[in-house]
Amino acid sequence: MSDSKKFYITTPIYYPSGNPHIGHCYTTLACDLVARMKRMQGYDVMFLTGTDEHGQKIEKKAQEVGVTPKEYVDDIVANFKKLWGRLGITYDRYIRTTDDYHVESVQKIFKELYDRGYIYKSEYKGKYCTPCESFWTESQLVDGKCPDCGRDVTDASEEAYFFKLSEFGPKLKELLLDEDRNFLEPKTRVNEMINNFIDPGLQDLCVSRTSFTWGIPVSFDEKHVVYVWVDALSNYITALGYMNSAYDDFDKYWPADIHVMAKEIVRFHSLIWPALLMALDIPLPKKIYGHGWITFGGGKMSKSSGNVIDPFILADRYGVDALRYHLLREMPFGSDCPYNNEMMFNRINSDLANDLGNLVSRTVAMAVKYFDGTLPAEKEFTDADNDLLAQLDELPAFVAENYESFHIADALERIFKVIARANKYIDENEPWVLAKDEANKPRLAAVLYNLLDAVRRCTILLSPAMPNTAPLIYEQIGAADANTKWEDASVKYSLPADVTVKKGPVLFPRIDVAKELEELDAMSAPKRELPSEPLKDITKFDNFAALDLRAVKVISCERVPKSDKLLKFIVDDGFGERQVLSGIAKYYDPEDLIGKTLAMIVNLEPRKMMGYESNGMIMSVRDGDKFRVVEFPDDIKAGADIS
Ligand code: ME8
C-alpha cells in the first residue's frame, strides 16, 4: 500500500480517574466514524485511543479506596475497553501510559530534550496545601483555599524541571496562521490561542514534580517524576514505537493525520505538543481538531459533576446505532451541544424510525407485494427519477468531505435529506396506483428499483455511523454484503436488475417518549436504603401522651460487671437522681457520656437487668449496626420535657 493511503487518527488518552461517560463517547465515536470511512476508502488506518494513567489525582483516588494506583486504573481501564467494545469502536491500538514501552520512551524523550537544552532545572513556585501534600496554582484555589480540602495554603516551592516553551512563541504563531496548512480547526480556536496565550508571552512549562510519586521517574534524577503533558502527549508517538521496540510503525504512520479532542485541551495540543515535537526535530501532526462539549444542565458533562448518563444503559435500551447516530448527528461543528434524553428519543423517532426505517420497510414491502420480492428485469426509467438520482450522485463526495473535516452532523443531515427525498419520491410516483394496471409494471419496477438503490447508496454512507444497521438493511434490500466499499455509493444501479428483497424486522421501533422518560427517571432516582425496622401501625395520640419524655443529665456512668452490653447510669431528671440501664456498652466509653444531656422515657415501669434496677429508658438511634444516644446541647435543663 502506498504511503499516501495511510491514515493515522487519535483520540485524547482519557484519565481513568472515573468511569467513561457520554462526553468521552462523542470523541471516540467521531474518530471511529472517520476511521471506518477511511478503511472503506482503502486507507491503511491506525486509530489510536488509550488512557492517561499517572498523576496526583489518581494517586489520591486510589489512596481513598485503599488500593494501589495501578489496581485503581486497571479496573477503570477495563470499563473503558468494555464500553468501546459495546459501542463498536474499531480502534487499532490502545495505549496505557503505564505500559512499559511508553514509560521507556518517555524517559528517553525527557532525556533527549534535556540533552538538547530544551529542559532545565529550576524551582516550581506555587500554593501548597500541607495536609493534602498538593501544589496548586493561584487560579485553581477556591476562595484562596485548597480546592480539595478547603484549608489554608502557603507559598512554597520545589525543585522542578522546566521545558523552554517560551522560545517557541513566534514559530507557533506562524504555524497557527499558516493558511495553507490549516493546522488547527475550528478557526475560532486559532485566535483564542494567539490572543490568550502566544501574544501575552508563553511561560516555560513545569515538566517534573517531586511532591508525588505516581508518575514516570526522570531517568537521570529519580526523585522527580515526569509531570503530565510530556508523559501524556508523547503517547501519540510512543504508541507507534518511537524510542521503543514494542512497535515499528513510526515511519509508516507519523505524522498523524488528525488529533481529535474537546476544546479544553486544544491549548496543550496546539502549543505544547508542536513545541515538543519541534524541539525533538520531529514532523508535526497535520491537523488538530477541537470539538465542543456535550453539556448537561449548562456545564460540561464530567466525571465529577455526577450527572453522567450511563452509555451502557442507553445502548442496551435503544440500540448502539441509535446512540451512535444521535451523538454524531446532534453535535454541531466546533460548538457545544446539550444532551438530554428527550432530544435523543425525538431524533430516533423522526430520523431513524420515520424516515429511514419507513423508507426501507415500505420499499421492501411493496417489492414483496407487487413482485413477490423479485423485481422483473424490464424497467421503465423516466425523467421523474432525475432529481432523486442527481441528489444521490452529489452525496458521496459531500459526505466524505464533511466526515473527514468533522462536519459530521452536516453530513448526516444531508444524507437524511436524501432519504426524505426518497420518501417523497414514493408519494410522487404512487406505486399503489401504478400497481393497478399490468401495463405499468415496468414503471413500477423502475420506481422500486430506484428506491432500493437509493437505500443502498445512503446506507453505505451511513454505515460508519451505524455499522450494525447497515448489514441488516443490505440483507433486506438484496444487496447482501457486496456493498462495503465507499466508492460503491457513487455507482448507480449496482443492485442486480432482478434483485430479490427480503422482509426483515423493524429496524428502529418508535419510542414512546413520555413513557421512556418516566422509566429513565425512575432508574436514575437515587435508590433508598430502607431502614431495617418497618413502620409500625398508626396509634392513638393518647398512647404517645402517656409517655413521659425528658432531657436528663448524666451524673455517672459505668459498665455493669460481667455484661458486655449494659451501662449503668445515674441521671438527674430535674426532680432528683435515678438509676437507669442501657444496652449501649459496645458503642461508648462510659466516661465519654458523663455530663451529657440525653433523651429518656422516665415513666416506664422499673425493670431488673443483671440484678440492677432500671428506672426508664435512655433513647438511642440506630446507626447501621451501632446505636448512638440522642443528645441535646448542654444548655438544655435536666427535666425539660420532650414533645
Ligand atoms: O484531558 N463533551 O483526559 P480527560 C465532549 N488525559 N467531550 C468530552 C466531554 C464532554 N462533556 N468530556 C470529556 C484529559 N470529553 C487528558 C488528555 S491527551 C494527550 C491527554 C472528551 O479524561 C474530550 O475528548 O479529561 C476531552 O478533550 C477529553 O474527553 C478529556 O478527557
Same domain, 431 and 561: no
Same domain, 346 and 477: yes
Please tell me the distance from the alpha carbon of residue 640 to that of residue 634, in angstroms, as a whole number.
12
- Residue 6 lies inside a defined structural domain of this protein: no
Nearest ligand 1 atom to the CA of 15 is 22
Model confidence at 302: pLDDT above 70: no
The whole-model pTM stands at 0.82
How far is ligand 1, taken at its centre, from the CA of residue 265, in Å?
7
Quote the pLDDT of residue 303: 46
Please tell me the distance from the alpha carbon of residue 621 to that of residue 608, in angstroms, as a whole number.
23
Same domain, 353 and 477: yes
Give per-residue pLDDT as tens, 65-96: 899 999 999 999 999 999 999 999 999 999 99
Nearest ligand 1 atom to the CA of 294 is 2
Model confidence at 525: pLDDT above 70: no
Model confidence at 483: pLDDT above 90: no
For 574-590, give the DSSP string: SS-EEEEEES-TTT--H
Closest residue CA from atom 27 of ligand 1:
262
- Residue 464 lies inside a defined structural domain of this protein: yes
Judged by DSSP in three states, 265 sits in helix
Chain centroid to CA 246: 29
- Residue 624 lies inside a defined structural domain of this protein: yes
How far is ligand 1, taken at its centre, from the CA of residue 129, in Å?
27
Please tell me the distance from the alpha carbon of residue 405 to that of residue 400, in angstroms, as a whole number.
9
Please tell me the distance from the alpha carbon of residue 88 to that of residue 36, in angstroms, as a whole number.
11
Give per-residue pLDDT as tens, 370-383: 999 999 999 999 99
For 217-256, give the DSSP string: BPTTSTT-EE-THHHHHTHHHHTTTTTSSS---HHHHPSP
- Residue 47 lies inside a defined structural domain of this protein: no
Provide the CATH number for the domain around residue 587: 2.40.50.140
Model confidence at 195: pLDDT above 50: yes
Q: How far is CA 420 from CA 77, 135, 492, 568, 629, in A?
A: 41, 57, 19, 83, 70
| Nearest alpha-carbon partner for 203 in 267, 281, 141 | 267
Q: Over the chain, what is the mean pLDDT?
A: 93
Provide the CATH number for the domain around residue 440: 1.10.730.10
- Locate 21 and state its grid cell: 461517560
Quote the pLDDT of residue 305: 41
Judged by DSSP in three states, 532 sits in coil
Model confidence at 117: pLDDT above 90: yes
Closest residue CA from atom 14 of ligand 1:
14
Quote the pLDDT of residue 300: 56
Strand order in the sheet with 93-96: 93-96, 44-51, 6-14, 258-262, 288-291, 184-185
Domain boundary at 473, 490, 507, which? 490
- Residue 161 lies inside a defined structural domain of this protein: no
Quote the pLDDT of residue 136: 83
Closest residue CA from atom 18 of ligand 1:
12
- Locate 49 and state its grid cell: 485511543
Same domain, 466 and 573: no
Quote the pLDDT of residue 526: 66
b/e map 430-453, b = 16+ CB within 10 Å: ebeebeeeeeebebbbbbbbbbbb
Quote the pLDDT of residue 138: 84
- Residue 580 lies inside a defined structural domain of this protein: yes
User: Which of 9, 261, 307, 406 most suits a substitution to test ligand 1, by most atoms within 8 Å of the C-beta?
Assistant: 261
356: DSSP letter: I
Nearest ligand 1 atom to the CA of 229 is 19
| Rounded average pLDDT over 26-37 | 98
Model confidence at 482: pLDDT above 70: no
Domain boundary at 464, 490, 516, which? 490
Same domain, 554 and 479: no
Same domain, 345 and 486: yes
- Residue 207 lies inside a defined structural domain of this protein: no
Model confidence at 595: pLDDT above 50: yes
- Residue 362 lies inside a defined structural domain of this protein: yes
Quote the pLDDT of residue 308: 45
How far is ligand 1, taken at its centre, from the CA of residue 327, in Å?
16
Other beta carbons within 10 angstroms of residue 401's beta carbon come to: 12
Same domain, 443 and 363: yes
Residue that is written with C-alpha cell 498523576 in the block? 55
What is the distance in angstroms between the CA of the first residue and the CA of the last residue of the chain? Answer: 86
Quote the pLDDT of residue 131: 73
| Rounded average pLDDT over 166-185 | 96
Quote the pLDDT of residue 2: 47
Same domain, 440 and 553: no
How far is ligand 1, taken at its centre, from the CA of residue 39, in Å?
25
Model confidence at 639: pLDDT above 60: yes
Domain boundary at 449, 475, 490, which? 490
| Contact between 408 and 328 (Cβ < 8 Å) | yes
Quote the pLDDT of residue 1: 44
| Contact between 88 and 32 (Cβ < 8 Å) | yes
Same domain, 481 and 345: yes
| Rounded average pLDDT over 328-347 | 91
Give per-residue pLDDT as tens, 126-165: 888 877 777 788 888 888 998 878 889 989 888 999 999 9
- Tell me the residue range of the domain where 591 lies: 541-632
Same domain, 433 and 566: no
Quote the pLDDT of residue 139: 81
How far is ligand 1, taken at its centre, from the CA of residue 140, in Å?
19
**What is the count of structural domains for the chain?**
2
Ligand 1 lining (C-beta closer than 6 Å):
12-15, 23-24, 26-27, 52, 232-233, 235, 261-262, 264-265, 293-294, 300-302
